[in-house]
Structure 1
Amino acid sequence: MKKVFLFLFLGISFTGLLVFAGKTLASEGTIELESVTGAPYRCFAASIRMQNLEYRIPMTCINLIYPADENIFNYILWATPSAGGNPLKLGALGLGRGEYKTKTSFSSLFVTTESNKDTKTPSGRVVMRGDIDEITFLKEATTPTPETEAGEEITAGEEEGQIEEAPTQELTTRQKLGIALRRAGIAALFALVALIGLIFVITRSRG
């Protein structure tokens, strides 16, 4: 019973590690925040996980409009946690340049316009939004398939076929005779052993 619980514990732990690793990787990448209101503003951000397990998010924006609306002067950046739950406040955009930090894995960013810059939850209008895209430059490169001068791919089967087509040397009569004699000698040895065993059994039964 203890072994069953041990296997279950190891399986759950391994699954948890895979999920955690997937969420961690999902929070590293680039984010293009586009306007959802038709206004010309937009932002670009990157998310990198540091050695202290903290995400650093440098960000730059263009065409921010001030005031955003009547008596509204604050653009606030929020993150959507990968595990779900309430949005995480990262900070104000200010003049469109900034760097933000969080230890929470997230899947997307969005910006709201707020009358109060100290708000803890998004209550204003969402004006920009963007999901994290993986950093394609860091993806493992695939090994290209070799091609002939005519551009045709050389497959493994063709290479093996060329190797198999190599001529094989036929055995001479003397070699064939030697093989036959060896096989006959082995057969005679087995027959002799069987005969000795049979004589031994008959002798013991008579005794």
Structure 2
Amino acid sequence: MTQKKALIVWGGWEGHTPEQSAEVMKETLESNGFDVTLEASTKAFADPDLGRFDLIMPVITMSTIEKEELENLIKAVRTGSGLAGFHGTMCDSFRNEPDYQFMTGGQWVAHPGDIIDYSIQISPTGDPITEGLSDFDYHSEQYYMHVDPSIEVLATTTFDGSRFEEIDGVVMPVVWKRKFGKGRVFYSALGHIADEFKVPEMKTMMERGALWAAR
């Protein structure tokens, strides 16, 4: 059986511990038999043979990407490479690139209250990514996002309106998957810093989701 290949590219805002979080996912994928390439520049997305990677993971926040790099990344996923990521390091990577956001299925817009206590509800989908997991409490940023209605939601969180009354009771997707051309896309809004991978439910969903996304 051919060893699967993964590309992890980290960068952008340091507050999201991109290098440390990328290392966590590198170790996670290697423990599942992947050959992992780690890069620190979006130039890696310009690789003419980008499609050789079974899985691509951006770990980049509030950055920019060249047109040719983005076009090549989108082409790779549309033709079968998987895409997986978490928190703002995938869904707040390139704010000026709607084509990228169309692929990921969502974009961060707010985290009312910043670091707070809230809860995650596992959707009753019976999906293997969330199999055996129950609702759990979480301490981090509660992401308010603009999301694509075509995503398949695997977990949600509910806003209480204590910061903004107009969002009281809003049920927001936290974990989702989708198809994009021949590629699979997985996203989790959890993972503000690398230490959050110590939360078993968070790490389990991220690991399973990445494996599902990989070609």
TM-score, scaled to structure 1:
0.21
Q: Which has the higher strand share?
A: 2
Whose Rg is larger?
1
